[in-house]
Amino acid sequence: MNLTVVVLTKNEKKNIKECLDSLNFCDETIVVDDNSSDGTTDLAKKLGAKVYERKLGKNFAAQRNFGLDKARGKWVLFIDADERVTENLRNEIVQITNDPLVNYLGFYFKRTDYMWGKKLKHGETANIKLLRLARRKAGKWKRKVHEVWEVGGRTRELKNTLMHYPHPTLADFLTSVNIMSGLHARANLEEGKNSSLIKIIVWPPGHFIYNYILRLGFLDGIQGFVIALVMSFHSYLAWSKLWFLQRKI
């Protein structure tokens, strides 16, 4: 078996079919599901995926490593349910994973975000690069949230781009920010980072200015403004939650 794809899910019935349809070139499809209640797993099984139900436990790296351990392919690809592999990216992946002379252990993807009907070119989500394709035994995922795949060898960036369609509504965006800021605060605590009144007050507006002004988020219109504002709120929540965790309140 040459290529396995691993997809993490949690109530992704609205996304899973389109996601898996874009991955039908893979030899093995694994879905690691965090106890969905909307029929995600039944649909994934009907689409031919091997489904493993496993509680996330506030640890995304552990969830991805579980999928990595279940994979049988020489290469493993990680895709989220709200991401899509384009035809050009698909062809590039197939070429790489079938080339016996490839001497890289991992490959980074550029990712383009689409929010509420608009392609984002600036701000928070611009120039994102993620290591998502690697040889199965090349490394492990680290960090519970904002996790990274640490590969012990040469890596390279792919030419083609992964499409990302997050947060279909503002309510979904805010819910995600609330959850992820809590996980981020706990990860920071475990890494020995400290919060303070200065960080709570200064960093959120600084985050907004950086993404909206310096990274030209204003050129993305209302979407750019909303993203910069909500992500600065994420910064506020993360540092505030860390302050409470430090004091065990």
Per-residue pLDDT reduced to its tens digit, 69-91: 999 999 999 999 999 999 999 99
Sign of the Cα pseudo-torsion (22, 28, 34, 35, in order): positive
Task: Check whether residue 131 and residue 174 sit in a common domain.
Answer: no
Q: Say whether both 216 and 128 belong to one domain.
A: no
- What DSSP state is assigned to residue 60? H
Domain boundary among 117, 148, 164: 164
Six-digit token string for 60: 């995304």
- Same domain for 181 and 148: no
Residue 22 pLDDT greater than 70, yes or no: yes
Tens digit of each residue's pLDDT (9 = 90 or more) over 196-229? 999 999 999 999 999 999 999 999 999 999 999 9
Same domain, 195 and 233: yes
Same domain, 93 and 152: yes
* Overall domain count for the chain: 2
- Could you tell me the CA-to-CA distances from 95 to 28, 54, 221 in Å, in that order? 17, 32, 38
Q: What is the CATH number of the domain that holds 45?
A: 3.90.550.10
Sign of CA dihedral 84, 146, 214, 228: positive
Between CA 135 and CA 235 the distance in angstroms is: 34
Rounded Cα distance between 195 and 231, Å, is 18
Q: Which of 39, 162, 171 is nearest to 89 (CA)?
A: 162
Q: Do 232 and 116 share a domain, yes or no?
A: no
> Are 124 and 240 in a shared domain?
no
Final residue belonging to a domain, choices 148, 164, 180? 164
List, for residues 113-171, the tens digit of each pLDDT value.
Answer: 999 999 999 999 998 999 999 999 999 999 999 999 999 999 999 999 999 999 999 99
Q: Are residues 150 and 207 in the same domain?
A: no
For 182, the domain range is 170-246
Contacts of 91 (CB under 8 A, 6+ apart): 160
Residues 92 and 65 in one domain: yes
Domain ends where: 104, 133, 164?
Answer: 164
Cβ atoms < 10 Å from Cβ of 111: 17
List, for residues 25-67, the tens digit of each pLDDT value.
Answer: 999 999 999 999 999 999 999 999 999 999 999 999 999 999 9
Question: Does residue 21 sit in the same domain as residue 105?
Answer: yes
Asked if residue 95 and residue 156 are part of one domain, the reply reads: yes
β partners of residue 142: 148
Cα(226)–Cα(189) distance, integer angstroms: 28
